[in-house]
Structure 1
Amino acid sequence: MKAYLLGLIGVALLAGTAPSAEMDTMWGESTVKLRAENAERGELFDEGNYAMFIHWGLYSQLANRVDGKTYYGIGEWIMDPKMANIPAEEYKELAGTFDPTDFDAKSIVQLAKDAGMKYIVITAKHHDGFAMYHSKACDFNIVDSTPWKTDPMEELSAACREAGLGFGFYYSHSQDWTFPGGRKGPTVDENGKPATFDDYFTKKCLPQVEELTTQYGPIELIWFDTPGGMKKEYVQQLVDIVRKNQPKALVSGRAGHDLGDYQTLGDMEVPHHNVEGMWESVDTTNDSWAYAWYDQRWKTPKKILHRLISCVGRGGTYMLNIGPTDKGAVPDRAARSLREAGEWIHRYPQVVYGTDASPWQHAMPWGDVTVRGDRMFLTVFDWPDSGQLFLPGLKTEIVSAHLLHDEEAEPISHESVRGWNVFELPSGAPEKLVSVIEVKLASSPEVDPTFGLDPNKGTEILAEFATVDGAKIVKHRWMEKFGEWLCVHPATNWKTGGKAVWEVDVLTPGDYDVRLTYTGEGRLVWGVDVVGGEHIQNQQNASHNYQEFPIGWLHFPAPGRYNVAVSCLEGNIESSRLKSIRLIPLSEYQKPSKRVASTAVK
């Protein structure tokens, strides 16, 4: 897919970042809309919360290998100068051998259904310009240019309707690397005359969007991508076509110019704080969106569930990508992970579908929370050895609590301890992947979102939740390899005396091991304070990337609320970027059990 400012890629790789404002322009990320007022329009998006993305095209045939050389990165960009730099005419010749005889639309739809996904979005045309459907607007398409001579979109749309899943198209509306006038495409036409973007837009883009919105039945959404410098009037014409032909369909935020219906975050970005409005995170089952022969770094079922529930818990939708092979088959390991995660979702659908975001507005050390009315679902990824699970800050009365397992609901006891709720749990987790506690409340939940220091394993708190003075919270994106984006929000631009401060709630007093995750240049001295109390500081080397470093032990003398402050004191402080602080109770290393009654003030 996927969009970057290519002129900035070298800088991004060297400096570890790219200007976020320019990235947002390329991706079209700025769109934020409120939830759809019409329940029929966008209902699957708003309530289903989980979808399948499919990146499949001529690039799948190359699978990131050209002339015997492997290019590491996202396969759908293989043409690009930063990858294999394939000339347009040479690339178009690939169509003559593209014969995906293993493609099975019903099998892919069944996989999506088994995975618990509610709709499918597939690449109808990516930046390479090849239409994966029978387009009359350009003969560079899967029916007219390949020996297969089949329109997979007909089969896939029909299979989705039969299975009760929604269906939608990805369409690269600005970039077209093989059609004259498309962004980054040929600058002259077949007659050698100069080609303009208007030529591309009127001859190919506009008629193809007309085709996609009229030839395949009801469409759930049209997923435009990488508007870049595309003028607003062009985007508006495309949106108008969608509105006319598919009035119930959504338009992705990457259409550009705030003309989409919802916000799409950056590639592979799962937020850590709740995001207002209707939004999605787009992610992939390994590192590349399109099939890459070498890429076997698959997400485990637990990782898929963790990222899905993180999105739902922050108020959004998760769209997870698969990259079929050149023959149209889904890699077996990806399918296995999706199905195993889906088995869990089918047992606990109330956790994922039609739920609201966590009122805490952030994850918990042990997992996350989703809400439906007066019921909360605590998803426990890290089962506590102590037999107690700690939930801070809940103000609403608990009526009952049950540990769910398949169709059984085992009552569990709980008590309130100084504003914390403590649940008594069995020694072993009932679920291999994620265990679920259903908490029925007297009314809709009200909470104090202050971070509590978990007595079992402590708590990591990200810098983006800090109040800063003499520093700045920024969005920091970088690529591990071409197209594999990571994103954090560190505290940086430190000045002398600058501080990042968090309020924390301490249930179990005593000594806590303090660890900071940061990056920078050279050796840095960090100071950590309990405001009005103990101060510690230490020097550690910086890493080229974010790494956790121990700083020392900090003492909290009694239960209660404290402000904890971090400062970069010495070294190249301007280069330092603080991602998080972690505070671990020293009792964690002793693994005590049932300790709250004896150590906490009730």
Structure 2
Amino acid sequence: MGVKGIVFGLALAALTTKQVSAQQMEKMWDGQGGNNSISQNRGKLFRDGKYAMFIHWGIYSQLANTWKGKTFYGIGEWLMNKSMANIPVADYMAAASLFHPDHFDAKAIVQLAKDAGMRYIVITSKHHDGFSMFHSKVNPFNIVEATDFKRDPMIELAKACKEGGIGFGFYYSQNQDWTYPGGNGGPKTDASGREKTFDDYFWEKCYPEVEQITTQYGPIELVWFDTPGGMDKKYAQKLVDLVHKNQPGAYVSGRVGHGLGDYSTLGDMEVPRQNVPGLWEAVDVTNDSWGYAWYDNNWKSAREILLRTLSTIGRGGTYMLNVGPKPDGSIPEPAILALRGAGAWIRKYPQTVYSAQASPWGHTLPWGDATVQRHTISLLIYHWPTNGTLFVPGLTSGIKSISLLQSTGKKPLTYTVEGKWLKINTPLVASDPLVSVIEVDLKEKPRIENMLGIDPAIETIVPVDFAQAEECNKKGKSWMEKFGEWKHVVQVGQWNDKSRLTYEIDVAKPGYYQLDLNYAGEGRVVWKIESSSGELLQNQQVAASIYNWYPWGWMKFNTAGRHKITVSFLEGNGNKASLCALRFKPVE
């Protein structure tokens, strides 16, 4: 994957550039090449499948974030870079001889993807290190010629995908190549000392390799380009045209650059809080790494994978989740267990995922999320209400029936409408240990009143995304907690004595609510929170360089309905203060 803001500077090394022949794959087109129906259905699996497997695999998987006995923490596919181990080109290329993925099993990987509920697989054919994971015709630095493996695993995986009935696609690093002369971040001269430009790299290696992966591995679902950097538009256009010519049914990822892709990709590991228009995807990891790292056992559970998948679909996107094979080519067992656990849930509730549309609320809800199929809303209950009532904001008309989905079938639920709230009477125990599903069948397309509802039974987190900022700066912020491990928030910064942040919230039940702030900053700070009914909270707390929740006090709402909440900054370093969310918790 790509890392923003990195300046590349690798040592020069010799590279043999002789032409090599490639193993030819059995023809898998089934007479479909160039068929107009394919181009008309371009990206259908992306649009309808909603869930895919990403695979990062290469020499870096064998090295597993270690070099000369030292562990480097962060994303392993960048191990060669100066911000990690700073490995000289010749030394890194020599490390290919260590690569022995003898337990790679294409059929097992495809079966895992199917068990997980994923509809296609995208795998790294060449990452920034320049190592080709297929039998390249133009680059001897490939898995067949530079290792003892002597097989083209892309042939095996493409065939297994076809036989398994799921889609197949390639990742290709088009701009960065740290070992081929002329590639971005690579040597500036070849083995003979002749200067090499990006144009040389593009036409000698990049373009012919993309030609190869789009003609010799059967029909593919998409080509996932990455880190376009300053690559000129003319090169990006050549690649897009090449993919669409050779693979009329394939999408090109937005990271080809210059707005030329068929869809967009959010930042690495980012699941948004508001619906995002258009065609887009979120790309995420099963632990903290893309390529395999020996120390990284911070695995996402089946429930966490499921919540991030459903929330991405709820925002209107497609979710592609990465696995990093171990040095022997097998998938780590914890990832297998979590993926299969989430997949078992998807098999029970496929309508919440496949071809599902975005939540009509436009954002997450206190208890979970929602997706839509025609006139049916699937309420996805992450946090089951223990008081026997699910409060649903803004859905008050056009309801035909409401049912709880159970293993034995649908159980009808009773409900009432009070003001702007739908109140569904629910059992005291959740129907599913991961995520329970309540279906609301409507007479027509869902109509939801636009409101930020404060739940009277479950804590409600209200990000600054939904507030109006005055005399302060609201914008997105991204940072790496480890090298390449990205976090993303929308935050409000640059506070002064005239700054105001204003929310309009709807309270279902009057009473006291514990109000907390999530912020980062420096030193001690004083915030003031006021309600339109005259309630006031003002306090001083410490600030840290990382975002934390800080308690601010009890705020009373004397009436149900709409209230205005205003946040202002009174004391401290306003230039360092960064607020990202409020939290309301009912006081029992």
For 1:535, the equivalent position in structure 2 comes to 536
Pairing 1:17-416 to 2, within 5 Å after superposition:
40-406=41-407, 408-416=409-417
The residue identity in structure 2 corresponding to 1:107 is A
Q: Classify the secondary structure of the residue corresponding to 1:402.
A: strand
Pairing 1:464-543 to 2, within 5 Å after superposition:
464-543=465-544
Contact 2:38 2:248 in 1 (8 A): no
Give CA-to-partner distance per residue, 1:445-492, whole Å, 9 cap, x none. 111131111010231100011111111211111111100000000011
Contact 2:38 2:249 in 1 (8 A): no
Pairing 1:578-597 to 2, within 5 Å after superposition:
578-587=579-588
C-alpha displacement of 1:140: 0.6
CA distance in 2, matches of 1:529, 1:574: 22
CA distance in 2, matches of 1:322, 1:155: 18
CA distance in 2, matches of 1:396, 1:238: 50
CA distance in 2, matches of 1:63, 1:97: 12
Pairing 1:569-580 to 2, within 5 Å after superposition:
569-580=570-581
For 2:16, the equivalent position in structure 1 comes to none
Structure 1 segments (4+ residues) deviating >4 Å: 36-39
C-alpha displacement of 1:534: 1.5
CA distance in 2, matches of 1:427, 1:532: 34
The residue identity in structure 1 corresponding to 2:473 is K
Aligned pairs, number: 561
Q: 1:37 and 1:277, CA in 2 relative to 1: closer, same or farther beyond 3 A?
A: farther
For 2:6, the equivalent position in structure 1 comes to 6
For 1:25, the equivalent position in structure 2 comes to none
CA distance in 1, matches of 2:564, 2:176: 49
CA distance in 2, matches of 1:568, 1:271: 27
CA distance in 1, matches of 2:234, 2:156: 34
For 1:433, the equivalent position in structure 2 comes to 434
Give CA-to-partner distance per residue, 1:400-449, whole Å, 9 cap, x none. 11110235111111111112111111111111111000110111111113
RMSD of Structure 2 on Structure 1 (CA): 1.4
C-alpha displacement of 1:274: 0.3
Q: 1:458 and 1:95, CA in 2 relative to 1: closer, same or farther beyond 3 A?
A: closer
CA distance in 2, matches of 1:38, 1:55: 28
CA distance in 2, matches of 1:7, 1:275: 31
Q: TM-score, normalised by structure 2?
A: 0.94
Structure 2 portions without partners, runs of 5+:
10-36
Contact 1:497 1:569 in 2 (8 A): no
Q: Classify the secondary structure of the residue corresponding to 1:496.
A: coil
CA distance in 1, matches of 2:177, 2:535: 60
Q: Classify the secondary structure of the residue corresponding to 1:228.
A: coil
The residue identity in structure 2 corresponding to 1:464 is D
Q: 1:38 and 1:369, CA in 2 relative to 1: closer, same or farther beyond 3 A?
A: farther
CA distance in 2, matches of 1:80, 1:250: 30
Structure 1 portions without partners, runs of 5+:
10-35, 588-602
Give CA-to-partner distance per residue, 1:343-363, whole Å, 9 cap, x none. 000110000110110111000
Contact 1:126 1:171 in 2 (8 A): yes
Query: Is 204-213 or 562-571 further displaced after alignment?
Result: 562-571
Q: TM-score, normalised by structure 1?
A: 0.92
Contact 1:395 1:445 in 2 (8 A): no
The residue identity in structure 1 corresponding to 2:538 is Q
CA distance in 2, matches of 1:235, 1:74: 26
Q: Classify the secondary structure of the residue corresponding to 1:580.
A: strand
C-alpha displacement of 1:553: 1.4
Give CA-to-partner distance per residue, 1:126-183, whole Å, 9 cap, x none. 0000000011011111111111100000000011011110100000000000000000
For 1:593, the equivalent position in structure 2 comes to none
Query: Is 492-501 or 58-67 further displaced after alignment?
Result: 492-501
